[in-house]
Amino acid sequence: MLLAFKGLQPERWQDGVERNPGIVATAMHCVNAIPYVHRAEPGIKTYPDLPLIAGRRARIGPMIDAEAHVAVFNAAVASGDWATFSARFAADATLAFVGPPVGPFEGREAIAAAYAAQPPDDTITLVGPPADEGDETVVPYRWDTTGATGTMRFRGAPDGAVQTLTVTFD
């Protein structure tokens, strides 16, 4: 997503910092609040309703679309075809589980073989919004049949594939 503000500032942001750093600094709070406001529950939000907002360094990899990942996972549970799901992982991806005595699995082929050998028989639902924690996308989930909960931690590869996924069971 590209967000451009037009108005008093010059065409190049570098010129604006030199000419009027106050305008740039004033806009930073609003711009950096966008992800928090986007993830907030519907309704009116005021400054005290939001977490402390500060500028952050850029992510190294892309944020993973956790909803799409879960949709493909659930479709694989229903169909028994894990090819589309495993294709979401980078060729050199890592999949680790915290809790059950399985894995870790290194590489897309090993991940695909693991799901083919021991396919899950339950679907999952996300139970909270994805959160950005450094270079990871963190999202809580719940197993639909058992109600057991956990957390998925994704790190994206430059091409948008899943580079690492750590699945924690509570």
CA distance 56 to 168: 26
Domains of the chain: 1-56 (no CATH), 66-169 (3.10.450.50)
> CA–CA separation, 158 vs 124, rounded Å?
26
Rounded CA-CA distance 37/8 in Å is 25
Q: By three-state DSSP, how is residue 64 classified? A: coil
Q: Choose among 119, 114, 111: nearest CA to 86.
A: 111
> pLDDT by residue (tens digit) across 91-120?
999 999 998 888 899 999 999 999 999 999
Model confidence pLDDT, tens digit, residues 83-92: 999 999 999 9
Mean per-residue pLDDT for 50-71?
69
